């Protein structure tokens, strides 16, 4: 039985379906949405051989004309070069404004194909079929799309909501274990920022979650999507509330940058960032230190890194940058007030940053 969640955004509303086998529903669901007649499936070279054929078959069966493109797997494909390759493929295959894109893969494919859909012919529709845990619980929902520039990540992009998200949990069986574990970091984040009961459920079921128990996983993904959908509904364009989703990201992004995006997976870096934010919170917001310990214990129990990496603090500090809006003042963080509630825009004194880093 698939879970159905509505992302309620007026004319841009859409449904997320979560369950084993939902991928096979793509043809009929796209027909119901009146999409077509040409579909371009964008995937990567790991995911395409596994799930490209059944997606293409289901679309064919529903009467669509289908083209399929696979970009190399990995962050480097979120590039201008790949974007222009997709424009060419789309023109060669006769994709027009009635046609649509299917993003089949992890967050890299979702961001790239989503931005391609946002910009091709001034915007065409697209469907997300996330196949990594991170993409299922996070990147496929909410409409943030984009590519990287040589000078930084996600520097070009657009808000462009998909018309449908199909999270087929059966696809997680082929996801490498390390990628799976990294995705759990974003799941934990939802509990911390918005839902103490959910956090408790994760604590109680940490071993089963780590083992990927299917029924539990499906309910956890669905709940994560529900939380993200609600945050996006309240603040689609990140004017305020949506920034809570950046909990753990200030340090996490800096660690990724300093290590050249090669040593830590995104979720692993976010786990370090959340451990850091937990300790900062305990010093600044009245967040009980015992709750910070609980947060760190859960991340550790799920197999995520929480200890200070062997990196030069000044490089990490520099990578965190200065807040553009408050140039000469302290860096701002999303910090926890308690498990289930965070506060954005917290100024952290410079000395404390270093002290807490050394304590990690
Ligand atoms: N748009 C957003 O809101 C948002 C949010 C968070 C992260 N992101 C972006 O997401 C990206 C990271 O996404 P990711 O962690 O999914 O990385 P990814 O897309 O690189 O996927 C991770 C790896 O797993 C492989 N893979 C994916 N699904 C698989 C499956 N079912 N079976 C076998 N292999 C599979 C991929 O080929 C890749 O090698 C980053 O670029 C990040 O910036 C975007």
* Domains of the chain as residue ranges with CATH: 3-173 (3.40.50.1970), 177-359 (1.20.1090.10)
* Alpha-carbon span 139 to 264, nearest angstrom: 18
| 186 is a catalytic site residue | yes
* Alpha-carbon span 197 to 323, nearest angstrom: 33
pLDDT band at 152 (very low <50, low <70, confident <90, very high): confident
Could you report the per-residue pLDDT of 279-317, keeping only the tens digit for each?
A: 999 999 999 999 999 999 999 999 999 999 999 999 999
- 115's tokens: 């931005």
Report whether residue 138 contacts ligand 1, using a CB cutoff of 6 Å.
Answer: yes
Query: Which atom in ligand 1 lies closest to the alpha carbon of residue 182?
Result: 15
Report whether residue 171 contacts ligand 1, using a CB cutoff of 6 Å.
Answer: yes
Nearest CA to ligand 1 atom 16: 106
Specify burial of residue 285 (Cβ count, 10 A radius: 0-12, 13-18, 19+). middle
* Alpha-carbon span 55 to 180, nearest angstrom: 22
200 CA distance to ligand 1 middle (Å)? 27
For residue 189, pLDDT over 80 is answered with: yes
140 CA distance to ligand 1 middle (Å)? 10
| 75 is a catalytic site residue | no
pTM: 0.97
Q: What is the pLDDT of residue 294?
A: 98
Q: What is the pLDDT of residue 144?
A: 98
- Among 249, 256, 279, 291, the active-site one is 249
Q: What mean pLDDT comes out for the span 61-79?
A: 97
Could you report the per-residue pLDDT of 122-147, keeping only the tens digit for each?
A: 999 999 999 999 999 999 999 999 99
Report whether residue 161 contacts ligand 1, using a CB cutoff of 6 Å.
Answer: no
Percentage of the chain beyond pLDDT 70 is 97
Name the DSSP letter for residue 106.
S
- Among 46, 68, 78, 253, the active-site one is 253
The per-residue pLDDT of the chain, averaged, comes to 96
For residue 327, pLDDT over 60 is answered with: no
- Among 48, 160, 186, 256, the active-site one is 186
* Alpha-carbon span 102 to 127, nearest angstrom: 5
128 CA distance to ligand 1 middle (Å)? 12
> In angstroms, how far is the first alpha carbon of the chain from the final one?
43
**Do 330 and 317 form a contact (C-beta atoms < 8 A)?**
no
74 CA distance to ligand 1 middle (Å)? 8
| 347 is a catalytic site residue | no
* Alpha-carbon span 299 to 280, nearest angstrom: 16
- Among 17, 266, 268, 291, the active-site one is 266
| 253 is a catalytic site residue | yes
What DSSP line would sit under 237-278, residue for residue?
A: T-SSGGGGGGTTHHHHHHHHHHTTTTSS-HHHHHHHHHHHHH
* Alpha-carbon span 117 to 41, nearest angstrom: 11
Distances (CA, A) of 257 to 13, 148, 172, 272, 360: 34, 13, 27, 14, 19
């Amino acid at each position: 039985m698939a879970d159905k969640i509505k992302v309620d955004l007026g004319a841009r509303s859409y449904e997320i379906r979560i369950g084993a086998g939902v991928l096979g529903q793509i043809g009929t669901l796209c027909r119901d949405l009146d999409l077509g007649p040409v579909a371009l499936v964008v995937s990567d070279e790991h995911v395409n051989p596994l799930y490209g054929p059944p997606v293409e078959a289901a679309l064919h069966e529903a009467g669509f004309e289908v083209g399929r493109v696979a970009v190399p797997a990995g962050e480097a494909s979120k590039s201008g070069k790949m974007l222009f390759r997709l424009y060419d493929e789309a023109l060669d295959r006769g994709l027009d404004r009635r046609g649509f894109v299917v993003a089949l893969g992890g967050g890299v494919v979702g961001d790239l194909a989503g931005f391609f859909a946002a910009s091709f012919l001034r915007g065409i529709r697209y469907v997300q079929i996330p196949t990594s845990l991170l993409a299922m619980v996070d990147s496929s929902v909410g409409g943030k799309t984009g590519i990287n520039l040589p000078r930084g990540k996600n520097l070009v992009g657009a808000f462009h909501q998909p018309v449908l998200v199909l999270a087929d949990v059966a696809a997680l069986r082929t996801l490498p274990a390390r990628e799976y574990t990294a995705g759990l970091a974003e799941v934990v984040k939802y509990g911390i920022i918005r839902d103490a009961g959910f956090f408790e459920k994760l604590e109680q079921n940490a071993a089963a979650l780590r083992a990927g128990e299917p029924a539990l996983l499906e309910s956890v993904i669905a709940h994560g999507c529900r939380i993200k959908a609600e945050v996006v509904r309240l603040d689609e364009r990140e004017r305020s509330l949506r920034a809570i989703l950046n909990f753990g990201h200030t340090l996490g992004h800096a660690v990724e940058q300093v290590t050249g995006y090669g040593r830590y997976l995104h979720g692993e870096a976010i786990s370090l960032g959340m451990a850091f934010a937990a300790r900062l919170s305990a010093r600044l917001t009245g967040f009980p230190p015992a709750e910070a310990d609980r947060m760190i214990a859960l991340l550790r129990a799920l197999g995520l890194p929480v200890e200070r990496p062997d990196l030069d603090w000044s490089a990490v500090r520099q990578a965190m940058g200065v807040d553009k809006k408050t140039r000469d003042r302290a860096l701002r963080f999303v910090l926890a007030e308690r498990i289930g509630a965070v506060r954005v825009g917290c100024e952290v004194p410079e000395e404390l940053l270093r002290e807490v880093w050394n304590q990690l």
